Amino acid sequence: MASFERITYRRMLYFAVFIPISGVLCFSELFFIKEPHDVMVLRKDPVILDCQARGEVPVSMTWLKNGVKVTENERVYALSNGSLYIAEVENRRGDKSDEGFYQCLAQNKYGAILSQKARLTIASISPFEVQPVSSVVEEGSVARFTCKIHANPPPIITWEFNRTILPLATNRITVLPNGVLQIYGVNQGDAGNYRCVATNIANRRRSIEATLTVTSVPEPRPPQKPRIIAGPQNVTTTLHQSTILECVATGNPKPIISWSRLDHKSIDVFNTRVLGNGNLIISDVKLQHAGVYVCRATTPGTRNFTVATAALVVLAPPSFVEWPESLTRPRAGTARFVCLAEGIPNPKITWLKNGLKIHSNGRIKMYNSKLVINQIIPEDDAIYQCMAENDQGSILSMARLIVVMSEDRPSTPRNVRPETVSSSAILLAWDRPLYNSDKVIAYSVHYMKAEGLNNEEYQVVIGNETTRYIIDDLEPASNYTFYIVAYMPMGASRMSDHVSQHTFEDVPLRAPEISLTSRSPTDIQVSWLPIPAKFSRGHIVTYCLSYRVSSESSINTLEIPGAKSKHLIEGLDPDTIYLLRIAAATKIGWGEQSVWTSHRTPKASSAKVPMAPELRLEPLNCTTILVSWLPSPVNTANIQGYRLFYWEDSQQESMPIQLRAHDSQRTIGGLDPRKKYHVKLLAYSYVGEGYQADQTVSTPGCVSVRDRMVPPPPPPHHLYAKANSSSSIYLHWGRPAFTLTQPVNYTVRCNPVGLQNASLVLYLETSEPHLLVKDLEPYTAYEFAVRLHFEQLSSPWSPVVYHTTLSEAPSSPPLGVKVTLIEDDTALVSWKQPDEPNTVVTRYTILYASRKAWIGGEWQVLQREGTITMALLENLLPGNVYLIKISASNEVGDGPFSNTVELAVQSKGIQSSQKPKRSDGSTEARAYSDGFYHLDQKSMTGIIVGVCIALTCIMICVLILIYRSKARKSSASKMAQQGNGQVPQASVSLANGSQAETAESFMPMVSDNFIDAKGGTGLIINSAGPVNPKPTKNKWLFFTCEDKPNAKKGQAQRRLQTLCSYQPGTTMLNYEKEPPTSLQVLFGPMCDTEHSNNSEGSHETGDSGRYSHDEIEMTQRSSVGSSRPPSLEPFTGNEGGLACDEPSSGPPHFLMEIPASASSQPQNEQFAKSLAVFPL
């Protein structure tokens, strides 16, 4: 029974938990398990577009083609699983073709979702766009044919020679995938007819034949500089595709082709290869492959080269950076969905509600990548999708909005009544709700313009004590829509009925912008554009046109009906300045008049000059206007160019801007917002200036945060500048993420650093996030800034970046070339930099040769850095006349050589009796009175200063060495006397029984078993105990040998005393157990494989093994060397002294010396390694 109750309880718990969760998650179960993809088929073939969705049943499926529902019939119908089946694909013109973009729409009771787009393409192949052309090529050169054709799928292109398949077995022939044929080293056998064949699954096409004619060239062929006959072209490709950059060059000898990137980045070697003789193929293209590529053709062994560049643009499909998330909101709340996507080109963001595109209205707004829904109503409960789309494809992401409804809410406000009060105010009144009106705590009044799209909705919240409200910030002559919502603590009511009301008219706020031209010397054509509704504030019923001669005060006035937009004033005087203005009126009254605009009538004798162009002005934003024009259709003169003038109202006329004859527009930037500007344009020819066109324009105001209720856009980021040449700089910047789906414009500001004249600032307009600024000065520092313009909003200027244009190649040779013979076979050549302020010299090239070698064309070459202006010519042969010339170079190129300077080197017999000679380009050799060659004052000063600095450094080094030597001796004597305790004097018995010298020592208080393996004191530990020897001068045994035989015994004793003397910085280890044998000393302990280099984690050695971890390093140094210590070698044959291999009468005594640390004195390093003493 208990078991049954537990099972029942678990089942009830399962239903209690699972069923509510399934109810919450059911809306998210409407999703696609298979979406349609791009497909390519042949005509008349069947095709299936797969689409399957899952969700709470029933799920219905609908197919769309190009956004329109597909009509099903016997040929096109949906399968039971939701897929679309087309029995025979048709390719008819117009709407009857099956080609297009297909999407499926899945729907259940919670909403609807739309699939990604799938493109259906019918395989085809078009006629040739480019066909091979006959050519004549010299023997040994390069022949090139090309053909181009559009086909789906891309065709395979092959070539035929004399209507047979062209063999590709030779390395001379290269066929590129893009339809180019290259033949290198052309010979007579290559002459003939060539044609290309394009083949895909749809069809095969053959081009026309082109004839190759090969002409012979006499041998030997003259040298030719490299020339690129087919350089790379700008290419736009898609991600993961392959692309090719062609580069074909000719020259004699055959040039070498190399590739690089303009941004100096390395070329990807894994996805890149060279095809043929220099064509670059990039497979599996990625985003990092995008950039500008440089093909360079160089003559082998020379500096002669030529380059060609091309840009590779890589397109990428959209990908989401941020996805919208499902939301749950109460009624009358606000929902915000965010969706960010990236791709190349920038994807466009579209919002869908239940599969249908959302349009902005008063409640629903789309701010760039955001969807904002205000005053949520039950109808907003739906599935929302964000679709990111560009030319490479589309992706979608969905989110659900759940609207929570309250049971105890008030009914809607009733009987909403609007009443117009003035041109800007409307009184709104209503009745309280029928139900729960006593629980209402507030009302919200909502209003928006009734005309137009994407209008902003405004709301005002008022208390519940009144049911009337005046809205007084409306525009005149505009229609508005209103509704009311009632609020209570438990929620908000439904919206009331919508009502509309129109405001009264008002006088115009602005006068029309007028344009003035002349058709003859005695008339002025006045035209204007209608005033925007925002400024007209009603219907314009009449215009008032006034004009007068500038030198007179009397004014002529004309009234023109409001339906007209131009008027011709006739009977005027030629070559006279007239002032004109205009005003507009509604039925309420007249608006303000425009400012006086001047216009000069043409001269009576200028009948053949160009007529006035048709001028148009368009404000792009609050600081920029676009000036465009068309030549007059009745022009009778040849136009050589245009002159454009513009100036702010009440300011003086500016200097003209010269424009070319084929120009048709010009952007003027850097203007002030809300200002009126005068623009004048005229054409000129060889006869003179033509008729002028005058027009005024007002820049709009930069909309503030208060006006738009949104913050201004941020400036573009990551502004990057790169010098492209000596006269151009490439700019690139990042586009703010919120503008990825909206069209934007940019203004680029450019001016030299430190510019004082503001009129020379250059403003450039572009819609792309990059720009190539041209016509700059060489080697000049410029500053750049960019600002963004978006929906009448302008961002601040971005942070300024500075960059300098490249220097030009030197156009003049070095100046003041002088040559001086300073020795019999050596000459000094000096020069000055070229007189070019905007040119940087990085290298000088000196060519010199004797007259005999010069006749044979043999020059000797010297190169010096750009900061050096002199060089020595050495190994000159006496009796010769040398020719010298110099050129300046930089990274851009080489400059011309200077005039040749001659230097006569006399024979030795004659040279010794003459003074040094100098040549500065003349034929005379000038002698100096003092008999010595002279350097200029700056060079001499530099040499003297350098010598003084060198001597000072040498003296400082000598003093340091002397000081350190004295300090070393002083520290050695002090170390033997320092300690933290004292011990009694001890004497050491030597092995031969003699008594060692008694030395007083101070020993640190440590345990008996402690062995100091790091040194630092004068302590020696042996079987007799601790001993501190008397500090003695270091003397090595093999340097102290006596010739007297009777001194043998004393000499041995002194040697042993020296060995027993402890040297500071070392430690003496004394065996307390049985001493090792001689073989153990020489070769280490038998069978001791670990020695002192034990396994990791063990610190045991062949000694007693009881010492700290810090001592391991020094022990390893003494044990990892050769089995025979090198310090034993001097003892093997010590003449006059006690040899190491002689027998000893006393017991053997062994001492081993180990270096204390890596910082021991250098003179002890050779002898402080494994020093062993043999038995004496």
Mean pLDDT across 748-754: 84
> What pLDDT does 757 receive?
56
DSSP 553-610: ---EEEEEETT--EEEE-SPPTT-EEEEEEEEE-SS-B-PPPPPEEEEPPPTT-TTSP
Q: CB 970: neighbour CB atoms within 10 A?
A: 10
Taking all residues of the chain, what is their mean pLDDT, rounded to a whole number? 76
Q: How many residues does the chain have?
A: 1176
> What pLDDT does 4 receive?
45
- CA nearest 609: which of 659, 517, 662, 683? 683
> What pLDDT does 103 receive?
92
Which pLDDT band, with edges at 50, 70 and 90, does 636 fall under?
low
Q: Which residue has the tokens 């990137």?
A: 261
DSSP 171: T
Give CA–CA dist 365/706, Å, rounded: 18
Strand partners, 205: 198
The answer to whether residues 423 and 502 touch, using CB atoms and an 8 Å cutoff, is no
Mean pLDDT across 42-66: 89
Which pLDDT band, with edges at 50, 70 and 90, does 244 fall under?
very high
> What pLDDT does 741 receive?
54
Give CA–CA dist 983/1002, Å, rounded: 6
Write out pLDDT tens, residues 347-389: 999 999 998 888 877 788 887 788 988 888 888 889 999 999 9
- 29-33, 882-886, 917-921, 1116-1120: segment of lowest average pLDDT: 1116-1120
Which pLDDT band, with edges at 50, 70 and 90, does 910 fall under?
low
Q: Greater confidence, 901 or 1101?
A: 901
DSSP 289-352: G-EEEEEEEE-TTSS-EEEEEEEEEEEEEEEEEE----EEEETT--EEEE-EEEEESPPEEEEE
Q: Which amino acid is at 166?
A: L
Give CA–CA dist 506/588, Å, rounded: 6
Mean pLDDT across 726-745: 77
**Sequence-separated (6 or more) residues with CB below 8 Å from residue 1156:** 1013, 1014, 1015, 1016, 1065, 1066, 1067, 1114
Give CA–CA dist 350/368, Å, rounded: 10
- CA nearest 1172: which of 1054, 1079, 1034? 1079
- Is the confidence at residue 1000, as pLDDT, over 60? no
- Is the confidence at residue 343, as pLDDT, over 70? yes
Q: Is residue 787 classed exposed, middle or buried when 0-12, 13-18 and 19+ CB atoms within 10 A define those classes? A: buried
- Is the confidence at residue 1100, as pLDDT, over 60? no
- CA nearest 347: which of 316, 388, 311, 308? 388
Question: How many percent of the chain have pLDDT more than 70?
Answer: 73
- 509-523, 900-914, 1141-1155: segment of lowest average pLDDT: 1141-1155
DSSP 454: S
φ/ψ (deg, to 5) at 569: -100, 120
**3-class DSSP assignment, residue 15:** helix
What tokens were used for 683?
């054409």
Cα–Cα distances in angstroms (integers) from residue 648 to residues 200, 789, 1032, 1141, in the given order: 63, 22, 99, 111
> What pLDDT does 386 receive?
93
Q: Which amino acid is at 40?
A: M
The answer to whether residues 55 and 108 touch, using CB atoms and an 8 Å cutoff, is yes
- Is the confidence at residue 930, as pLDDT, over 50? no
Give CA–CA dist 861/846, Å, rounded: 6
Q: What angle do CA 103, 104, 107 make, to 5 degrees?
A: 145
The answer to whether residues 352 and 358 touch, using CB atoms and an 8 Å cutoff, is yes
Q: Is residue 169 classed exposed, middle or buried when 0-12, 13-18 and 19+ CB atoms within 10 A define those classes? A: exposed
What tokens were used for 622?
């609050």
> What pLDDT does 548 receive?
92
Write out pLDDT tens, residues 187-231: 888 899 999 999 998 899 999 999 999 998 877 888 888 999 999
What tokens were used for 362?
């008063």
Q: Greater confidence, 758 or 449?
A: 449
φ/ψ (deg, to 5) at 1118: -85, -10
Which pLDDT band, with edges at 50, 70 and 90, does 928 fall under?
very low
- CA nearest 441: which of 460, 461, 459? 461
- Is the confidence at residue 259, as pLDDT, over 90? yes
Which pLDDT band, with edges at 50, 70 and 90, does 143 fall under?
very high
Mean pLDDT across 530-552: 88
What tokens were used for 877?
């042969």
> What pLDDT does 1054 receive?
47
Write out pLDDT tens, residues 419-446: 988 888 888 899 888 877 788 888 888 8
- Is the confidence at residue 737, as pLDDT, over 60? yes
What are the start-end ranges of the H helices in 937-1036?
937-975
Q: Which residue has the tokens 């053909």?
A: 147
What tokens were used for 815?
């100046």
Q: CB 870: neighbour CB atoms within 10 A?
A: 15
- 455-459, 631-635, 1127-1131: segment of lowest average pLDDT: 1127-1131
- Is the confidence at residue 1160, as pLDDT, over 80? no
Write out pLDDT tens, residues 706-731: 444 455 677 888 888 998 888 899 99
- Tell me the helix, strand and coil percentages in the chain, rounded to 5: 15, 40, 45
Write out pLDDT tens, residues 72-122: 888 899 888 889 999 888 887 766 788 889 999 998 888 899 998 999 999
Mean pLDDT across 462-483: 85
Give CA–CA dist 105/112, Å, rounded: 7
Q: Which amino acid is at 561?
A: P
Give CA–CA dist 49/63, Å, rounded: 10
What tokens were used for 212?
């190759």
Q: Greater confidence, 417 or 936?
A: 417
Distance of CA 731 to the CA centre of its chain: 10
What tokens were used for 738?
């919120």
What tokens were used for 15?
């239903």
Write out pLDDT tens, residues 1026-1084: 555 544 444 443 334 444 444 444 444 444 444 444 444 443 444 444 445 443 443 44
**Sequence-separated (6 or more) residues with CB below 8 Å from residue 877:** 825, 850, 905
Q: Greater confidence, 172 or 1027?
A: 172
- Is the confidence at residue 139, as pLDDT, over 90? no
Distance of CA 563 to the CA centre of its chain: 55
> What pLDDT does 177 receive?
87
Mean pLDDT across 411-416: 87
- Is the confidence at residue 591, as pLDDT, over 70? yes
Which pLDDT band, with edges at 50, 70 and 90, does 314 fall under?
very high
Q: Which residue has the tokens 């093909």?
A: 295
- Is the confidence at residue 990, as pLDDT, over 80? no
Mean pLDDT across 606-632: 84
Please compute Rg for the chain using Cα positions: 49
Question: How many percent of the chain have pLDDT more than 90?
Answer: 17
> What pLDDT does 1007 receive?
44
pTM of the shown model: 0.48
What tokens were used for 681?
């344009």
What tokens were used for 839?
């040119």
Give CA–CA dist 290/311, Å, rounded: 8
Q: Greater confidence, 796 or 868?
A: 868
Cα–Cα distances in angstroms (integers) from residue 435 to residues 198, 330, 438, 462, 493, in the given order: 79, 20, 8, 20, 10
- Is the confidence at residue 472, as pLDDT, over 50? yes
